[in-house]
Structure 1
């Protein structure tokens, strides 16, 4: 286990459990609001990640308790090159973020990770802190939104191709298409099918229609999107969008994106969003279909 955190007097640390997901979401929401003016995180996001079979919540997390005993900060690092951390704004400036960054680095070293990083809003307090600690920028990412009442331009599918909601029988093909595409540019191990199901199919609030597919004339899944609806139903976020390599440059991704956003609006969403990063080269594609950048993030990393 990493060494104990160096915390201010009257603060304490402990491993977290799945029952802490709501408290973690609330402190992350306070952090997001203070740094970006918006809140995107939901408890379902935390639960979906922590309920993965590969995720050992107790070993992969640390929580910081304030003087009154409430959770005021946390970090997680479960393997792979990505970690997360947040400090409630009313507890900034006391060295807690520095302590958590050290814990993440030590935890990654224990796991044998050559590099570990986390996303932070560009030029935010978290970004500046990690910069001061020597964490470098690996890539940029952007959250994009489709203006209300704007529609993605329609793209006609090739003959005998179809776009529809996925069935349970499609799920393994969806996982394969998405993982194959994302592993072309991301540096991580292949996500297991069981973890994918836990994060996407079994995510709290997920509905069968949230997973969208394009099928070829033989009925095989050749493109897929995963749509996440916010708890209040007012926003549809495309968390994954992928096309099989041999099926690209046929307009499948644009047709699928339009279908996903139309499905979100049909179920009450006023906003349609997604994120992408500089490794994918997809930013211009999303801009061309009318999406606008809302915020810019950087992935800050260190070598343990």
Structure 2
């Protein structure tokens, strides 16, 4: 198999394949959105998600992706990284042609070339992709849950301990925010520490970012000890998605995370959101935290992976 394309026998009926470029981000979004609509009955991805990930300095788009085309139209794609996180999608109209199987075979081959030892991808539990990967021997590394605060739900009050405060982060504080996030996430995530430029690419430089999206909690000395990142999803409905939530390990068990959550809900509503959402997985042990502030599980995903 050519490491950057797919076998000729898979590309029947005039299909072609090639590495992707940043200009293909919109087309990838359209494939992924069609797949989510078919599998979930709704679209949860945004084009901004793809742009943010692909513009990271550490991510070489052409070296890490492959697309399948019917004429000029992208109908399937896959991406990988040496860190072990990948993704793939096949437009529902092009299923049952062996494209998904070919992409699943391409992903570990390409990951190995990039220096990785494992590759995995999140798929809705019980979906077509989940069943395919299971049949190909991909195992479940962890389970993820999508949670939402239903429309119209009263936002609970979560007072802060004396001396603590929540506010918008100043731009000069973004390095401190990164430290809090990475210190917390690397307690359970096996990967390299994110660089500051990669962090900015998926947060501050992500399309749609506004300064108020970074919420921080400070202690009595004004030191940042926790943070949340709100990303506004256009929907409909307009949704405040909390993509990151972290509290310094020595500051936990004081209700700071719950206070950050309800603050994020409130700020989202101030900016027109009628719904709030986030995701978590079985590695974090945080599911109960979110349920305590009224969030409900609305979807279950599994991260399936294979050694390379």
**What TM-score, normalized to structure 1?**
0.97
SS at match of 1:25: helix
Structure 2 residue corresponding to 1:261, chosen from 253, 258, 265: 265
Question: Is the aligned partner of 1:60 residue 2:64?
Answer: yes
**Contact conserved, 1:151 with 1:258, CA < 8 A, in 2?**
no
Which residue of 2 is the match for residue 244 of structure 1? 248
SS at match of 1:250: coil
Question: Is the aligned partner of 1:221 residue 2:224?
Answer: yes
Alignment of structure 1 residues 16-95 onto 2, 5 Å: 16-66=20-70, 68-95=71-98
Q: Report how far residue 3 of structure 1 moved.
A: 6.1
Question: Is the aligned partner of 1:285 residue 2:289?
Answer: yes
Question: Structure 1: which 5+ runs fail to align?
Answer: none
**Contact conserved, 2:143 with 2:303, CA < 8 A, in 1?**
yes
State how far apart, in whole Å, the 2-side matches of 1:15 and 1:44 are: 20
Q: Report how far residue 173 of structure 1 moved.
A: 0.7
Q: Report how far residue 4 of structure 1 moved.
A: 3.5
Q: Report how far residue 115 of structure 1 moved.
A: 1.4
SS at match of 1:103: helix
**Contact conserved, 1:152 with 1:257, CA < 8 A, in 2?**
no
Alignment of structure 1 residues 148-167 onto 2, 5 Å: 148-167=151-170
Instruction: State the number of aligned residues.
Output: 303
**Contact conserved, 1:56 with 1:78, CA < 8 A, in 2?**
no
State how far apart, in whole Å, the 1-side matches of 2:5 and 2:49 are: 27
**Contact conserved, 2:145 with 2:301, CA < 8 A, in 1?**
yes
State how far apart, in whole Å, the 2-side matches of 1:294 and 1:25 are: 22
SS at match of 1:38: coil
SS at match of 2:212: helix
Q: Report how far residue 153 of structure 1 moved.
A: 2.2
Q: What whole-Å deviation, never above 9, does each CA across 1:81-119 have from its counterpart, x for those lacking one?
A: 110000000000000001111111101111232211000
Q: Report how far residue 230 of structure 1 moved.
A: 1.3
- Superposition RMSD in Å: 1.2
Structure 2 residue corresponding to 1:235, chosen from 233, 239, 259: 239
SS at match of 1:48: helix
State how far apart, in whole Å, the 2-side matches of 1:126 and 1:143 are: 18
**Contact conserved, 1:235 with 1:269, CA < 8 A, in 2?**
yes
State how far apart, in whole Å, the 1-side matches of 2:148 and 2:193 are: 29
**Contact conserved, 1:227 with 1:260, CA < 8 A, in 2?**
yes
State how far apart, in whole Å, the 1-side matches of 2:177 and 2:155 are: 23
Q: What whole-Å deviation, never above 9, does each CA across 1:227-285 have from its counterpart, x for those lacking one?
A: 11013571110000000000000000000000011000100001100000000001111
- Greater shift, 2-11 or 171-180, is seen at 2-11
State how far apart, in whole Å, the 2-side matches of 1:231 and 1:112 are: 37
Structure 2 residue corresponding to 1:173, chosen from 157, 163, 176: 176
Which residue of 2 is the match for residue 207 of structure 1? 210
Question: Structure 2: which 5+ runs fail to align?
Answer: none
Q: Report how far residue 152 of structure 1 moved.
A: 3.8
Structure 2 residue corresponding to 1:131, chosen from 124, 127, 134: 134
| Deviation beyond 3 Å, 4+ runs, structure 1 | none
State how far apart, in whole Å, the 2-side matches of 1:168 and 1:151 are: 31
Which residue of 2 is the match for residue 5 of structure 1? 6
